[in-house]
Chain A
Amino acid sequence: GNSVTQMEGPVTLSEEAFLTINCTYTATGYPSLFWYVQYPGEGLQLLLKATKADDKGSNKGFEATYRKETTSFHLEKGSVQVSDSAVYFCAFDLNTGTASKLTFGTGTRLQVTL
């Protein structure tokens, strides 16, 4: 069935370190891919998205590239900050029109320390 697999957390990094959070998906069809971020005590916010192969989504220094051949959408940031501490969710949408819905991974908690 359709699913998203994310690397398990927590991921603990020092400030200014390089971040990679792996995400792979299994889906029928040609999904759109998303990264959402959840800060403590808050709802989900869209971080970035990509809708076709080789597209790169980017926002706030985060990037992810839609790799159809490896069914992956890994999240990267060159230099993390303490304020990036949050839970990150990879998700996809199968683009089935009005019946579209997001399928989420389990989330990866990132903790950035000084």
Chain B
Amino acid sequence: NAGVTQTPKFQVLKTGQSMTLQCAQDMNHNSMYWYRQDPGMGLRLIYYSASEGTTDKGEVPNGYNVSRLNKREFSLRLESAAPSQTSVYFCASRAANYGYTFGSGTRLTVV
């Protein structure tokens, strides 16, 4: 089925470890996004990529890096995980007619 695929679905890290969250979409969308969801705070934008080859900071970029590998893939990297990065991470992509499609999320716990 067409859509946004995120891997992994669950991950537990120790403080200081690094990892990369993967996101891929097969809808030929230009724009892709990474959000984090925390209780009582809704979804907050970490980074986004308006088009292949470009990335920009969102509301909460500290502690994260991103790579827009190609039009399909947009990865989020935590270089040195901290407990404050415990969250649910959502990737999304967007079509020009304002349609956003979200992945099913990655639940990350940093201990």
Contact = CB atoms under 8 A, between A and B. Distances in A.
Contact of A106 (B42, B51, B94): B42
A24 to B, nearest CB: 14
A101 B104 contact: no
Given A43-B90, A93-B98, A99-B50, A107 B42 contact: yes
A27 to B, nearest CB: 14
Interface of A: 4, 32, 34, 36, 42-46, 49, 51, 89, 93, 95, 98-107
Given A46-B99, A89-B42, A100-B31, 7 more contacts: A32-B98, A93-B98, A95-B98, A101-B33, A101-B48, A105-B42, A106-B42
Chain A, interface SS category: strand
B61 interface: no
Decide if the interface of chain B is mainly helix, strand, loop or mixed: strand
Interface of B: 30-31, 33, 35, 40-45, 48, 50-51, 56, 58, 90, 92, 94, 98-100, 102-105
B58 A101 contact: yes
Nearest to B59: A103
A78 B65 CA distance: 45
A44 B48 contact: no
